[in-house]
Structure 1
Amino acid sequence: MKSEALLISFLLIIISCFTLGCGQETEVAQGITIEDDFGRQVVIHTVPKKIVSLTPSGTEILFALGLGPRVVGGTNFDNYPPEALDLPKVGDYENPNLESIIALEPDLVLADSIHQKAVEELERLGIPVLAFDPASVAGVYDTLIRIGTATGVLEAAEELVDQMQSEVADLTAPLASLAEEDKPTVYYEIWYEPLITVGPQTYIHDMITLAGGHNIAADAQTPWPEYSLEVLIEKDPQIIICPRILMGGITVEEEDFAGRPGWGNITAVREGRIYLVEDDLISRPGPRCVQGLKELVQILHPDLYPTN
């Protein structure tokens, strides 16, 4: 009798655990609503099993949350983690191919603000799409939580956000006591002809600010302002930062800046404070933003953050 009672108790525990698990899945199956960065209320009816990512940052987030096995498609620009290189491609970042996306039969697509037309078409076809375009590191945290919620891995997302917030806090703590005059002025070059930089309300602007710098284009009226050489000389940045590889695969060398006519009048060029960076770490709003931020603070404040 005693053994039978133990067996019954054990079975009840198993049934209880199973029931709780089914209850959680039922809650997801009934639908959760996520608001994306288009302000759309997107209902996710079931836990997504086949996800297509139209953004490199979205792909990085999915893999960082342990969702790599569920990712069935990405873009030609997906290069991290290495496993992303092997994903079936649905076009490039700016021009995803709708037919390729549909052929993969996704139950969730992650998009960006530039994909409005694709989002509308996929939505019309009944394919759930979430569009995210965080303009700050805090926005990355929020995006991680929303993607974690939509994909049923909220706990993993919260753990990752906690870790990132802790690392960012450690990086930025020594900057809190800096006087404004000790924060160098920064020109971040997106393109050379014409000169294009980053304005306010952009992710890179937020990264520069967090790293203890003053973006010379913080007063611009657009996110991606064009500058004349005269305006750049007038702004006279103390530091110039540029991706090692620009759009189209164009490689940049530090010596290029000194050879540009008139650039010798700029403090950063005269003092040799020109830094080439891996653009993906600085401009891609995803889990590796902490690495990008660390690189920036080492550039802007080498006395506080000596490199190896």
Structure 2
Amino acid sequence: MRFLFLVIVVISTITPSVAATLAQQTQRIISLSPHTTEMAYAAGLGNKLVAASAYSDYPPAALQLERVANYRGLKMERILALKPDLILAWQGGNPSRELARLEQLGINIIYSNPKTLADIPKTLEQLGQYADSPQTAQQAAAEFKRQLQQLKIANHNQPKIRYFYQLGSTPLMTVADSGWPSQIFSFCGGDNIFANSRAAYPQVNQEQVVVRQPQVIFSTQPINTTLQLWAHWQHQLIAVKQHHIYQLNANWLNRPTPRTLLAIKQVCALFNQVRDQH
């Protein structure tokens, strides 16, 4: 699953009057992915959301929004009937043809495309220009940066830990360093055994994993499910032999939002647990 960051072209010296105009002109927002829904609420746009995608479950208020998108596509007729001023789209996840049609109809679309952890507070600040109170986004961004800096200091210069992030099992996939959420593992001192794969989300096989000998295997699937997959290799694979297989919170890990901080805390704590045992 590809999780991408909001790319917004704005003028850095935007004046208060221009910001106020943007906020006044933007009253009806539709979000087409769970992470853009979460970011909209964090930036103070919750009162302007009129619809969202399936699995938009955070914060709890998002559960009350009408659903106009899922893995099958977009409900185009319903989206048009809701007359949005702004759409938050998942680039690579939402169908490009349908998004192009919406743009042709004159609807403003902001696309999502994550790159770094630092982009999360930048997006909050940028989305804040559409909110009635930009201070909400500014405060959320400042708090994210403050906590991220604290975590950076706490995890500075830690010994590297070789890891494999299991993204699905049929087929077996993972994430290269160019794809989200590798940034989280790297922040905590993780050394990705498939870091240099040409594809951002490569399909691999078990033998390739065994050859690279990760010290840790992470997955968002239940631990028992992951253990069953690797049981055959329990004598050859260090991570299995030493019981270093961990389940991570999928929503924290895979959605580039302020809750990414929770994913960092979880991953760093598990890496430190492995370090302590060695």
Bin of the TM-score, shorter chain as denominator length: 0.7 to 0.9
Q: How does 1:185-196 map to 2 (within 5 A)?
A: 185-196=162-173
Out of 254, 259, 262, the position equivalent to 1:288 is 259
- Which of 258, 262, 266 is the matching residue for 2:233? 262
AA at the equivalent of 1:61: M
- d(CA) in 1 for partners of 2:28, 2:229: 46
Whether contact under 8 Å (1:111, 1:129) holds in the other structure is yes
Alignment match, 1:160: 140
Match of 2:204 among 217, 227, 230: 227
Q: Are positions 1:96 and 2:74 aligned together?
A: yes
Superimposed CA distance per residue, residues 181-201 of structure 1 (whole angstroms, 9 cap, x where no aligned partner): x21111111111222000122
Q: Match of 1:253, SS?
A: helix
CA RMSD of aligned residues (A): 2.3
TM-score in terms of structure 2 length? 0.85
Q: Matched residues in 2 for 1:264 and 1:140: separation?
A: 41
The aligned runs of 1:14-25 (5 Å cut-off) are 24-25=16-17
**For this pair of structures, how many residues does the alignment match?**
260
What corresponds to 1:210 in structure 2? 187
The TM-score, its normalising length taken from structure 1, stands at 0.77
The 3-state SS of whatever aligns with 1:191 is: coil
- Whole-Å Cα distance in 2 between the matches of residues 195 and 73 of structure 1? 34
Q: Which residue of 2 aligns with 1:3?
A: none
Give the one of 218, 234, 243 matched to 1:272. 243
Q: Residue deviations 1:205-241, cap 9 Å, x none?
A: 1111011211111111110011122211111110000
The amino acid across from 2:30 in the alignment is V
Taking a change above 3 Å as real, the CA distance of residues 123 and 28 of structure 1, as seen in their structure-2 partners, is farther
1:175 aligns with 2:155: yes
* Alignment correspondent of 1:81: 59
Contact 1:51 / 1:109 at 8 angstroms: preserved in 2? yes
SS in 1 for 2:164: strand
Please say if residues 75 and 93 of structure 1, whose CA atoms lie closer than 8 Å, have aligned partners that are also in contact. no
Q: Counterparts of 2:196 and 2:205 in 1: how far apart (Å)?
A: 15
Name the CA shift for 1:118/1:138 in 2 (closer, same or farther; >3 Å).
farther
Question: Structure 1 residue 152: deviation in Å?
Answer: 5.0
2:20 & 2:254 partners in 1: Cα distance? 33
The answer to whether the 8 Å contact 2:163/2:192 transfers is yes
Residue pair 2:52, 2:67 contacting (<8 A) in 1 also: yes
Alignment check: 8 A CA contact 1:200 1:222 kept = no
| SS of aligned partner of 2:247 | strand
Cα distance in structure 2, aligned partners of 1:94 and 1:262: 37
- Contact preservation (8 Å) 1:53, 1:73: yes
Residue matched to 1:40: none
Q: Is the 8 A contact 1:109 1:129 kept in 2?
A: yes
**1:255 CA displacement:** 3.3
The amino acid that maps onto 1:187 is F
